Amino acid sequence: MASAPGKLAYPQFSGLRRTCACVSNTHPLFLRRADAAASRRSFGGIFAMAGTGKNGTKDSISKLVADLNSATLENDVDVVVAPPFIYIDQVKRSLVDRIEISAQNSWIGKGGAFTGEISAEQLIDIGCKWVIHGHSERRHIIGEDDQFIGKKAAYALSQNLKVIAYNVSSWTNIVIAYEPVWAIGTGKVATPEQAQEVHAAVRDWLKKNVSAEVASETRIIYGGSVNGSNCADLAKKEDIDGFLVGGASLKGPEFAVIVNSATEKKVAA
Ligand SMILES: O=C[C@H](O)COP(=O)(O)O
């Protein structure tokens, strides 16, 4: 996913081939609702209510949850939030059921003596339905590689968590996120044309390497400086099926604007 602003970055195709990595950054999301008829065309995305660990306090998250609970959100957009582990329970207890919860990471296998780690089983126990794997920050800062991420994703999927990442035996519960690293947290968003080109290339990769059906159905979401002002133009693009939102997700009303940019998808369709 690395590239300079203005240049297209093709997300880890070699990784995709081996395990499947897509990439996300920090926090997460919204997605199309499962009952929305056919396919990825119903918008979906991802939003993070608090960044990777460093964002959020009990008070700030209470405020954000209150904003989300009172926001008017498009019916046919799935909305998922990914708070840091320590706030998941608080969010689960206070957030409306219409919004699902994701973790930002999980262990590679069954729980046990792995100090400091959180298992997929524990996430399910606390009410999570989603987990993010393969975020560029986990790769670049923590040093996770495709193989390790693949193990995590495979185990999470085996426990029926939905995954934003790889090592996929069934694509039903997968969402792929494309985030050019130069766009993450920088205010330099990819142009709709740049993002569309990469999303189309990812979809084409799926078509050639997995199947036409998977290519058609899999949601590919964009992340990197998405905000209330640029989301509408991005949402109009054919292969952009949602967003992975970081900074703008910390402001509930702005996040609602991003969720509701799904209407642009309907207009464009
Ligand atoms: O996880 C979030 C993404 O990495 C995007 O972050 P951002 O919207 O602050 O650029």
**What residues are paired with 265 via a beta bridge?**
none
Our count of domains for the chain comes to 1
Closest residue CA from atom 6 of ligand 1: 246
Domain membership flag for residue 2: no
Q: Looking at ligand 1, which atom is closest to the CA of residue 28?
A: 1
Domain membership flag for residue 39: yes
Residues framing ligand 1 (Cβ under 6 A): 24-27, 48, 179, 184-185, 223-226, 244-248
Range of the domain at 198: 16-268
pLDDT digits (tens, 9 = 90+) for 172-208: 888 888 999 999 999 999 999 999 999 999 999 999 8
Amino acid at 103: A
Domain membership flag for residue 4: no
CA 53 to ligand 1 center in whole angstroms:
13
Mean pLDDT of 249-266: 85
DSSP secondary structure string for all residues of 220-232: EEEESS--TTTHH
Domain membership flag for residue 100: yes
CA 112 to ligand 1 center in whole angstroms:
32
CA 113 to ligand 1 center in whole angstroms:
32
- Could you list the active site residues? 135, 179
CATH number at residue 45: 3.20.20.70
Domain membership flag for residue 1: no
Closest residue CA from atom 8 of ligand 1: 246
Predicted confidence (pLDDT) at residue 116 exceeds the cutoff of 90: yes
User: Token pair for residue 27?
Assistant: 């926090």
pLDDT digits (tens, 9 = 90+) for 51-93: 545 678 899 899 999 999 999 988 878 888 888 999 999 999 9
Non-local (6+) Cβ contacts of 7 within 8 A are: none
Q: What is the pLDDT of residue 194?
A: 97
Domain membership flag for residue 239: yes
Q: Looking at ligand 1, which atom is closest to the CA of residue 136?
A: 4
Q: H helices of the chain, where?
A: 13-18, 58-70, 85-94, 120-125, 136-137, 146-158, 192-209, 212-217, 231-235, 252-259, 262-268
Domain membership flag for residue 6: no
Q: What is the ipTM of this complex?
A: 0.96
Domain membership flag for residue 10: no
